[in-house]
């Protein structure tokens, strides 16, 4: 497959959409990003990487890191995680509070904010420093030792973090959060504030295309756990638009309000696209269109 030619074709096909949508206004540091950016990268399972546009420019990964935190929590803590968080689509916005009360403080899935807070809480208990563990892991898998947190974004999220604080305190009242809420929130905001490029993310996510094998060939997850994460990405990875994403793209995917989306073709490659203009559910407008073009042009979907 000539990935380079394909990416150039896709960039051209979606050029009219680049700049549509809105940047995430509820996190002021993200609202300032130029919505006309667009980058896309593909990494094959052997680690060759191809890209177009702004594919080497770091951006705020935001909720994409929820996938990596989940993988690390499963790898170090095992299946008991699923007693604390479900794996069903929520059908509600990613920062919604409504289901939590009648479901007794157990979030629907690990990719809505409530579920990610539970995962980060467990990772914190398992490792003692959840956000640094995550950053180290991402540096190793991407092969980029310069990956870093953006302190301005972390600060901006913390200052405007009342809703995440409410989610965390509410779950703590049900005994589903173990660490002090302020500690948990710090790690969660740092986690969301990791900056990576499309190339970094496509490379770092390869263990999901390699059935659980890390870049160095060691095993992070069992084959079955890797399958489970891909399945939750497919059903819950793009918030309350996961059905639409499956319909258009047909791949496990995880988006973030920084405008990035990571997608996986199991056994074959990983993709990352970035364009900061979001639709009303928080997914990149040009990003979803580019992934739609990818699976349409190549036939590489899981269906």
Nearest-approach distance from CB 202 to ligand DON, in angstroms: 18
DSSP 3-state helix, strand, coil percentages of the chain (rounded to 5)?
A: 50, 15, 35
Nearest-approach distance from CB 298 to ligand DON, in angstroms: 27
Nearest-approach distance from CB 29 to ligand DON, in angstroms: 11
* Nearest CB to ligand DON, comparing residues 74 and 192: 192
What is the rounded distance in angstroms from the CA atom of residue 237 to the CA atom of residue 15?
Answer: 25
Closest CA to 257 of 13, 26, 17: 26
Which residue of the set 90, 232, 239, 285 is catalytic?
Answer: 239
Nearest-approach distance from CB 177 to ligand DON, in angstroms: 15
Closest CA to 130 of 79, 176, 192: 192
**What is the DSSP secondary structure assignment for residue 247, as one 8-state letter?**
H
66 is catalytic: yes
**What is the DSSP secondary structure assignment for residue 251, as one 8-state letter?**
S
* Nearest CB to ligand DON, comparing residues 27 and 208: 27
What is the rounded distance in angstroms from the CA atom of residue 194 to the CA atom of residue 205?
Answer: 15
What is the rounded distance in angstroms from the CA atom of residue 246 to the CA atom of residue 251?
Answer: 6
* Nearest CB to ligand DON, comparing residues 71 and 269: 71
Which residue of the set 63, 131, 142, 275 is catalytic?
Answer: 63
User: How far is Cα of residue 255 from the mean position of the Cα atoms in its chain?
Assistant: 5
Query: Are residues 92 and 98 in contact, defined by beta-carbon separation less than 8 angstroms?
Result: yes
265 is catalytic: no
Using the Cα atoms of residue 65, residue 69, residue 75 and residue 79 in order, give the sign of their dihedral.
negative
Q: Which of helix, strand or coil describes residue 59?
A: strand
Nearest-approach distance from CB 47 to ligand DON, in angstroms: 27
Which residue of the set 232, 257, 265, 273 is catalytic?
Answer: 257
* Nearest CB to ligand DON, comparing residues 35 and 282: 282
* Nearest CB to ligand DON, comparing residues 135 and 192: 192
What residue is closest to ligand DON based on CB? 63
With b meaning 16 or more CB within 10 Å and e meaning fewer, what string describes 197-207?
A: bbbbbbbbbbb
**What is the DSSP secondary structure assignment for residue 279, as one 8-state letter?**
-
Nearest-approach distance from CB 23 to ligand DON, in angstroms: 12
Which residue of the set 188, 197, 264, 285 is catalytic?
Answer: 188
Query: Are residues 92 and 99 in contact, defined by beta-carbon separation less than 8 angstroms?
Result: yes
* Nearest CB to ligand DON, comparing residues 6 and 278: 278
119 is catalytic: no
Judged by the rule CB under 6 A, the positions of this chain that interact with ligand DON are: 62-63, 94-95, 111-113, 157, 164, 192, 256-257, 282
76 is catalytic: no
26 is catalytic: no
What is the rounded distance in angstroms from the CA atom of residue 82 to the CA atom of residue 136?
Answer: 25
Q: Give the catalytic positions in this structure.
A: 63, 66, 188, 239, 257
């Amino acid at each position: 497959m000539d990935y380079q030619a394909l990416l150039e074709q896709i960039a051209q096909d979606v050029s009219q959409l680049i700049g549509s949508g809105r940047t995430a206004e509820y996190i002021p540091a993200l609202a300032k990003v130029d919505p006309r950016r667009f980058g896309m990268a593909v990494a094959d399972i052997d680690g060759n990487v191809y890209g177009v546009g702004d594919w080497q420019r770091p951006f705020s990964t935001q909720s994409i890191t929820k996938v990596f935190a989940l993988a690390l929590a499963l790898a170090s803590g095992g299946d008991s995680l699923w007693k604390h968080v479900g794996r069903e689509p929520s059908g509600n916005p990613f920062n919604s509070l409504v289901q939590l009360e009648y479901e007794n403080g157990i979030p629907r899935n690990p990719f809505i904010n409530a579920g990610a807070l539970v995962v980060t809480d467990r990772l914190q208990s398992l490792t003692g420093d959840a956000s640094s563990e995550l950053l180290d892991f991402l540096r190793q898998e991407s092969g980029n030792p310069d990956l870093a947190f953006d302190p301005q974004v972390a600060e901006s999220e913390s200052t405007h973090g009342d809703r995440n604080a409410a989610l965390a305190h509410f779950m703590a009242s049900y005994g589903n959060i173990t660490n002090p809420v302020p500690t948990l929130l710090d790690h969660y905001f740092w986690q969301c504030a990791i900056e990576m490029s499309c190339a970094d993310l496509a490379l770092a996510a390869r263990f999901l295309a390699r059935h659980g094998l890390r870049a160095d060939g060691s095993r992070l997850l069992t084959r079955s756990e890797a399958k489970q994460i891909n399945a939750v990405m497919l059903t819950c990875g793009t918030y309350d638009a996961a059905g639409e994403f499956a319909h258009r793209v047909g791949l496990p995917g995880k988006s973030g309000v920084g405008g990035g989306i990571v997608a996986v073709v199991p056994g074959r490659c990983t993709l990352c696209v970035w364009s900061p203009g979001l639709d009303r559910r928080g997914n990149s407008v040009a990003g979803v269109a580019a992934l739609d073009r990818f699976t349409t042009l190549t036939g590489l979907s899981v269906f």
